[in-house]
Structure 1
Amino acid sequence: MATVPGKDTVLCISLAGRPGTFGVRFHNHLYQQLGLDYYYKAMTTQDLPAAVAGIRALGIRGCGVSMPYKEACMALVDEIDPSAAAIESINTIVNTDGHLKAYNTDYLAVRQLLAQHRIDPSTAFALRGSGGMAKAVASALREAGFTQGIIVARNEQAGRQLADSCGYRWQAQLGDLCPPMLVNVTPIGMAGGVEAEQLAFAPEAIAAAQQVFDVVAMPAQTPLIVEAQRLGKPVITGLEVIALQALEQFVLYTGVRPTAEQVARAVAFARG
């Protein structure tokens, strides 16, 4: 990684309504480990079309895309990978000589994690959420063969649309149901404010679950994950998702796949 970027340094960025630090620290740490003359910077914008045009015009190699830009960016790129087309939401743009191709590495990460954790596709689940990340998770579940799902969302229009697109049911509340797998794809559990003390699902549902999946990455130990682990439930954490999707972005930008040890060091650094 260039300590001071020079004229030949390859620039990668992220665009987010509220830029974070994980991606910056993760990517730059890997660039340094691997001796790559790349530099990564987090940004935000009030003019998305101009920002995406700048990626093309300035030769920025890659761009991570976060809320609230994941859907609006789709009309601004030249090509959409199946990983993003399937869910009409992107989180990664790769610039190859002015040609912008969009991907969704959130989707790719969830697919890999479901396989790595060997979760039986016959497992019924409830997924709470209906935003762009919920689309990625629900679509990954569908493509992995999970057919018995409930989308739990207070926004009826968005919830029904997501449920219908994936062949699942919609409910405004989970109620007394206790499905074997619980999936939180809402901000509930993030650090700060009252939400950090809330559980995304009722204690009774968590106690009855066989698997708990929380996409909230910061903190990795959300109230939901802490409670599930206290009860001895297998979990998938948001840290696993964010690390794996960032790794796939890194590979798309650089063409280099780091070792597991290098990735582990970058994740540890990014969390610090």
Structure 2
Amino acid sequence: MTKPPIGRDTRLCMSLSGRPGNAGSRLHNYLYDALGLDYIYKSFSTRDLPAAVAGIRALDIRGCAVSMPFKEAVIPLLDTIEPSAAVIDSVNTIVNDDGHLTGYNTDYTACRQLIEASPADPSKPFVLRGSGGMAKAVVAALRDAGFRHGTVVARNAEAGPALAERYGFAWAAELPGQGAPLLVNVTPLGMEGADAGALAFPEVQIAAADVAFDVVAQPADTPFIRAAIAAGKPVVSGAEVIVLQAIEQFVLYTGVRPSRDLVIAAARFAHGEATAERLAAAC
């Protein structure tokens, strides 16, 4: 199918992030082109979240992906919160239906699918760093994937204990001296920018782990992921998470579900061969 030329009927979708990148735009626009859909996608940041959300409503922007640090702050600005977002108090997707803004969370779905497809053993413990909106989705996915023993590591003395207690896990303000079979990073450590060189876990803990899971997607090959691959460990990178959650967003925006082969091709285009191969194994 041939995509129509951009015109007055073209629907705009977007993303809001503290650190906007190109991968989401590449993936969504690749799929629009492949499926002949009259949509375009553009990433944005903002210093005025209420005004940005008002713009989504006023300009009839069809959908908006929401990333750090806006996943919790955006909730009061929306009209309806779907159970997928309400249960974890975190929104990563806004859908605009004629000015009515509904919040969803597709992070949870993606994370649970990838956790269950990984060799991580739910009878063994995990250590997870982070307590923000994405951490809520990952911790909920871990619990629902059968994990019963784990530690949420977060310096925030309110958010950290609250998140751990909500799902029946332990909390620590600092990394424990001993790691766990599953290590999960849900912080900006390793992300492009000031934290790009930071290693989320000590190398000795990575060497002793069974699986490494990093939600950072810019870049996908964070120091944590590189160290885990060098140690011969199976990994789940933020690129796989962002592809699967973006596909669910794509379906919400367009009503079209791409085929598995098209999803893998879009992942290859947006994130590279390694991500496409790991995604093919997980899907």
TM-score normalised by L of structure 1: 0.93
Q: Quick one: percent identity of the two aligned structures?
A: 61
Residue 6 of structure 2 is matched in structure 1 by 5
Q: Give runs of aligned pairs for residues 103-252 of structure 1, distance below 5 A.
A: 103-117=104-118, 119-193=120-194, 195-252=195-252
Q: Do the aligned partners of 1:73 and 1:90 also contact (CA within 8 Å) in 2?
A: yes
Post-superposition offset of 1:221 = 1.6
Cα RMSD, aligned residues only: 1.9
Separation (CA, whole Å) in 2 of partners of 1:27 and 1:128: 29
Structure 2 spans left out of the alignment, 5+ residues: 273-283
Q: Do the aligned partners of 1:2 and 1:39 also contact (CA within 8 Å) in 2?
A: no
Residue 256 of structure 1 is matched in structure 2 by 256
Deviations 1:153-209 (A, max 9, x none): 12222211211222111112223222111101111122345x333321112211111
Q: Do the aligned partners of 1:189 and 1:197 also contact (CA within 8 Å) in 2?
A: yes
Deviations 1:56-101 (A, max 9, x none): 2322111111122211211122221121111111010111222221
Structure 1 spans left out of the alignment, 5+ residues: none
Do the aligned partners of residues 221 and 46 (structure 1) sit closer, same or farther apart at CA in structure 2, a change above 3 Å counting? Answer: closer
Separation (CA, whole Å) in 2 of partners of 1:231 and 1:69: 35
Q: Do the aligned partners of 1:2 and 1:9 also contact (CA within 8 Å) in 2?
A: no
Separation (CA, whole Å) in 2 of partners of 1:235 and 1:246: 20
Q: Do the aligned partners of 2:3 and 2:35 also contact (CA within 8 Å) in 1?
A: no
Query: Is 32-41 or 62-71 further displaced after alignment?
Result: 62-71
TM-score normalised by L of structure 2: 0.89
The AA in structure 2 aligned to 1:230 is: A
Q: SS where residue 40 of structure 1 aligns?
A: strand
Post-superposition offset of 1:51 = 2.3
Residue 275 of structure 2 is matched in structure 1 by none
Separation (CA, whole Å) in 2 of partners of 1:191 and 1:40: 22
Count residues in correspondence.
Answer: 271
Q: SS where residue 147 of structure 1 aligns?
A: coil
The AA in structure 1 aligned to 2:166 is: S
Separation (CA, whole Å) in 1 of partners of 2:55 and 2:198: 40
Separation (CA, whole Å) in 2 of partners of 1:129 and 1:46: 23
Q: SS where residue 171 of structure 2 aligns?
A: strand
Residue 61 of structure 1 is matched in structure 2 by 62
Separation (CA, whole Å) in 2 of partners of 1:174 and 1:45: 32
The AA in structure 1 aligned to 2:80 is: E
Separation (CA, whole Å) in 1 of partners of 2:54 and 2:122: 41
The AA in structure 2 aligned to 1:167 is: G
The AA in structure 2 aligned to 1:164 is: E
The AA in structure 1 aligned to 2:135 is: A
Query: Is residue 35 of structure 2 the alignment partner of residue 39 of structure 1?
Result: no
Q: Do the aligned partners of 2:120 and 2:181 also contact (CA within 8 Å) in 1?
A: no
Do the aligned partners of residues 19 and 3 (structure 1) sit closer, same or farther apart at CA in structure 2, a change above 3 Å counting? Answer: farther
Separation (CA, whole Å) in 1 of partners of 2:58 and 2:158: 38
Do the aligned partners of residues 172 and 84 (structure 1) sit closer, same or farther apart at CA in structure 2, a change above 3 Å counting? Answer: same
Separation (CA, whole Å) in 2 of partners of 1:217 and 1:108: 17
Q: Do the aligned partners of 2:206 and 2:228 also contact (CA within 8 Å) in 1?
A: yes
Q: Do the aligned partners of 2:239 and 2:271 also contact (CA within 8 Å) in 1?
A: no
Query: Is 158-167 or 262-271 further displaced after alignment?
Result: 262-271
Q: SS where residue 191 of structure 2 aligns?
A: coil
The AA in structure 1 aligned to 2:13 is: C
Separation (CA, whole Å) in 1 of partners of 2:179 and 2:65: 36
